[in-house]
Structure 1
Amino acid sequence: MRSLSLTIDLDEIITKLVNRLSKIMAISKVSIYLKTEESEKVKVYETSEQKENNEIIFYEPDKNDPFFVSLIEQEKINTEEFMINYYLKISEELEKRKISLSLPLIVQNRLIGILNLGNKKFEDEFSQEDIFLLETISTQASIAIDNAISYKKLEKAYKELKNTQEELIKAEKLSTIGRMASSIIHDVKTPITSIIGFAQLIGFKTENKLLQEYTKQIIRSAEQMHGMIQEILDFAKGKEKELNKKKHNLEEIIDEAVLELKNYLEHNNIKLKLVRDFNNSLYLDKQKVVRVLYNVIKNAIESMPDGGRITIKTYPDNNNAVISITDTGKGIHPEIKNKIFEPFFSNGKNNGTGLGLSIVKKIVEAHKGKISVESNPGKGTTFFISFPIIKDIT
């Protein structure tokens, strides 16, 4: 049984122990009761002569099971005293279940499990040599099982520590970004206000329709810049800003986001196709949904440095309005697809905070909506954004 000490995988140890007892010792039935990591829980591994190839089944025992009670009640034990009381308690159960030998698994005066053995297949009862050998095996098995359980606990603790460390790093990053955003807002508020004021003044003073449209675009962009910085600040501080939801036509919101990126699309040689199969109004925070579409479309543009095509579709799906945004870019590898909505995940981008899609997801979910992504590396990516269709609010 030396091989038991060569592994730290609990299931492998149990399988080896059960198989060897069944085959080498020719034991008809083997069951092992083990404490789990959870408080007051026990797991039973069992095989019997009715199962082919010593197939092992496992289950949770009844709470009135004497072996379960013995495991749960006993922590630190006095070995000799425990053994006497133990056999007095379970004597009837041994006969009832046709258990020939029950061996407590003890490590440093701690009861970690119970090994129950059925009859020998070819002999009436266990000899003294058999019992001595089985006690030796149970001692070795106890140590191997305890080591495996301890390793599993250590592995779990390490993962928890690693996750905590990652969360602390994220929290520190968010705190740093929050301080930076706060400083930036303070510094840019005055010039943004000036830009908006002078743009409005130019719009009032001129009768040139094209110039008026340009000034409106300047005002929208300046307000968007301020809103984006404020949003990063709120995200970093963990604030849940209340949505300013009103009835808006979805296509008009998409048009506004596209207009914001018109020059960027043309500069990067991107062809845009709009397929409109939903032209109704939804209750949305217009500014935030424009931000969502702006970020997703901008990411699509950046995935196609040599030009390409973006298709934006809208359509109803049960009680939801869906926007799909498809590009012909390089796609997203499967191993990182589930990480793109995590804070600070930038997928190799040289600029940006890595918060864009995190903020997008947060905005969509604040609307009780959903966002998902499908991608084929080398062929392109599609983002699906859905918002619930709500009847008029009275």
Structure 2
Amino acid sequence: MDLITKDLLINFLFILLSLFLVQMFYLLKYAYRFEELKDWMIAVFPVVSVVLCMLFPVALGEHFILDLRRIPFILGTLYGGYKLGFFLLSLILIIRYPMGGDGFYVTLLSLSLVVVLVFFLSKYYLKMSVKQKLMVSGSLIFVSLMTSMFFSEQILGLNIGTTIWIEYIVINVIGMFITTILWEVIRTNFDVLQRVIKAEKLEVVSHLATSISHEVRNPLTASRGFVQMLSEDVSLQTRKKYVDIAIQELDRAAEIINDYLTFAKPILEKKEKINVFEEIQHAVSVITPLANMNTVRIRLSLLNNEKYFVVGERKKFQQCLINMLKNGIEAMPDGGELQILLSYNHPNIQIDICDTGKGMTQEQMNRLGEPYFTTKEKGTGLGTMVSFSIIKGMNGKISVASEEGKGTYFSIKIPIYQHSAYINPHTSLNMSKKRSHV
């Protein structure tokens, strides 16, 4: 491999680097929703490629400077339109003119011809198939190079040798084919990504709509039935009973809607200091009957005589704890042990909930908190979804560890607001050592 080929391959690496930058910008656009990138992102590839190729050319005498600038120039003009084409042409001439030599005029004539051809082709290029695009881009760079050779030898009387011209043309054409395919792959991948993101959004909306209609329809249907029964000839006591049941069912429907609103907007409506120790005890007292029914033993390991406070909404925090404990109990249909630990892990209060249930796979853990995802046969995933949103609204975080057949470990970390007593770091350390890992 001679020196010219090696230097031109380095030019081709610059083109690949520019394609990588474009791919990175696409990822940023869809990962962080940077809509402002969409108008100028197409120009990154040709501009960067042209500049790098022309800064590291292959110099042949005082007249000829060879590089692969035509590849990004032609593709940039085809994909970006004639406006980008004129900008790239101006950029090339500005960089090329100070280098001197008669090759500047060859560049001016050959690339100006390309811009004229692309002006007519760019309107149809994006609608072509990949095969047609390869034929068009390959033909354009071949015509451009043959025009340069004609102007050099026939008009300016400059000759660098037929062998070098053939080598230069072959490298440019092959490089054009490879770059066109890579560029099409990048564009296709991110078009697919955009469609997938839209499809996922529609799927989430569909699941939420299904879940809401299913959850709300039952209490509303029950309420309607009892209201209809009021028109019958029944005693006053029975009538009062029907009204009470209808009101309870309507309240349940309102609670379900509030749960979905909590997920959609986990912002605290009112902020208050919450004593974590007391709230855990309250949640345990509420959930104990269910635990007894499922032969589940609850074991508490809390820091007594300590008052830990977090900022949040008391009712929502209670709801979160009850949901988490209920999920742990229901994960042990054949009985087991539910362990609840409270510890201080600066600057957070940490609540660990461990069960000895059936556990989860890694895929299931990754989907926890998603709408309409649940590991239970009868469930909508609403409780876990709301719990994650409540903790998020309190600037906290829920982490999960699980192993199939051994159990699940939930760790809730919430920033401390205030603790009135001195916290012995050794005590905290000892408590953290007591945690059982699943």
Shared fold (TM-score, shorter chain, > 0.5): yes
Per mean C-alpha deviation after superposition, the further-off stretch among 376-385 and 311-320 is: 376-385
SS of equivalent to 1:39: helix
Query: TM-score w.r.t. structure 1 length?
Result: 0.62
1:245 positional shift: 3.8
Asked whether the equivalents of residues 189 and 226 of structure 1 are also in contact (C-alpha less than 8 Å), the reply is no
Name structure 1 gaps, 5 residues minimum: 1-20, 48-65, 96-100, 116-124, 193-197, 199-220
Query: Counterpart of 1:308 in structure 2: which amino acid?
Result: G
1:258 to 284, 288, 311: 284
**C-alpha offsets along residues 17-64 of structure 1, whole Å, 9 cap, x if unaligned?**
xxxx679945586223435442332355999xxxxxxxxxxxxxxxxx
Match of 2:163 in 1: 129
Query: Counterpart of 2:96 in structure 1: which amino acid?
Result: I
Match of 1:157 in 2: 191
Per mean C-alpha deviation after superposition, the further-off stretch among 240-249 and 360-369 is: 240-249
Match of 1:148 in 2: 182
Task: Determine the C-alpha separation between the residues in 2 that align with 1:168 and 1:302.
Answer: 31
**C-alpha offsets along residues 201-225 of structure 1, whole Å, 9 cap, x if unaligned?**
xxxxxxxxxxxxxxxxxxxx99995
SS of equivalent to 1:167: helix
Query: TM-score w.r.t. structure 2 length?
Result: 0.57
1:306 to 323, 327, 334: 334
Task: Determine the C-alpha separation between the residues in 1 that align with 2:318 and 2:373.
Answer: 22
Cα distance 1:329–1:165, how it changes in 2: closer, same or farther (>3 A)? same
Asked whether the equivalents of residues 215 and 256 of structure 2 are also in contact (C-alpha less than 8 Å), the reply is yes
Task: Determine the C-alpha separation between the residues in 2 that align with 1:146 and 1:371.
Answer: 46
Check if 1:270 corresponds to 2:273.
no
Higher strand proportion: 1
Q: How many residues align?
A: 307
Asked whether the equivalents of residues 181 and 230 of structure 1 are also in contact (C-alpha less than 8 Å), the reply is no
Asked whether the equivalents of residues 283 and 322 of structure 2 are also in contact (C-alpha less than 8 Å), the reply is yes
Check if 1:39 corresponds to 2:67.
no
Match of 1:346 in 2: 374
1:90 to 79, 96, 99: 96
Task: Determine the C-alpha separation between the residues in 1 that align with 2:99 and 2:293.
Answer: 82
Asked whether the equivalents of residues 182 and 233 of structure 1 are also in contact (C-alpha less than 8 Å), the reply is no
Check if 1:231 corresponds to 2:231.
no
Per mean C-alpha deviation after superposition, the further-off stretch among 280-289 and 360-369 is: 280-289
Name structure 2 gaps, 5 residues minimum: 23-40, 54-68, 102-106, 119-133, 146-158, 227-236, 238-247, 420-438
Cα distance 1:317–1:190, how it changes in 2: closer, same or farther (>3 A)? farther
**C-alpha offsets along residues 49-84 of structure 1, whole Å, 9 cap, x if unaligned?**
xxxxxxxxxxxxxxxxx999968985557x9xx999
1:377 positional shift: 3.6
1:316 positional shift: 1.6
Task: Determine the C-alpha separation between the residues in 1 that align with 2:180 and 2:282.
Answer: 64
Query: Counterpart of 1:357 in structure 2: which amino acid?
Result: T
Cα distance 1:279–1:91, how it changes in 2: closer, same or farther (>3 A)? same
1:233 positional shift: 4.4
Task: Determine the C-alpha separation between the residues in 2 that align with 1:341 and 1:41.
Answer: 38
2:209 to 153, 169, 175: 175
Task: Output aligned runs, 1:11-90, within 5 Å.
Answer: 25=5, 27=7, 30-32=10-12, 33-34=14-15, 36=19, 37=22, 38-42=41-45, 74=77, 75=80, 89-90=95-96
1:365 to 392, 407, 410: 392
Asked whether the equivalents of residues 271 and 311 of structure 2 are also in contact (C-alpha less than 8 Å), the reply is yes
1:386 positional shift: 2.1
2:412 to 365, 368, 385: 385
Asked whether the equivalents of residues 330 and 380 of structure 1 are also in contact (C-alpha less than 8 Å), the reply is yes
Match of 1:215 in 2: none
1:167 positional shift: 0.8
Seq. identity, %: 22
**C-alpha offsets along residues 295-336 of structure 1, whole Å, 9 cap, x if unaligned?**
212222232233222211111222321111112223322233
1:284 positional shift: 3.2
Cα distance 1:222–1:286, how it changes in 2: closer, same or farther (>3 A)? farther
RMSD: 4.7
Task: Determine the C-alpha separation between the residues in 2 that align with 1:142 and 1:303.
Answer: 59
Asked whether the equivalents of residues 219 and 250 of structure 2 are also in contact (C-alpha less than 8 Å), the reply is no
1:317 to 341, 345, 353: 345
Cα distance 1:94–1:337, how it changes in 2: closer, same or farther (>3 A)? farther
Task: Determine the C-alpha separation between the residues in 1 that align with 2:285 and 2:398.
Answer: 22
Task: Determine the C-alpha separation between the residues in 2 that align with 1:178 and 1:28.
Answer: 62
Asked whether the equivalents of residues 357 and 407 of structure 2 are also in contact (C-alpha less than 8 Å), the reply is yes
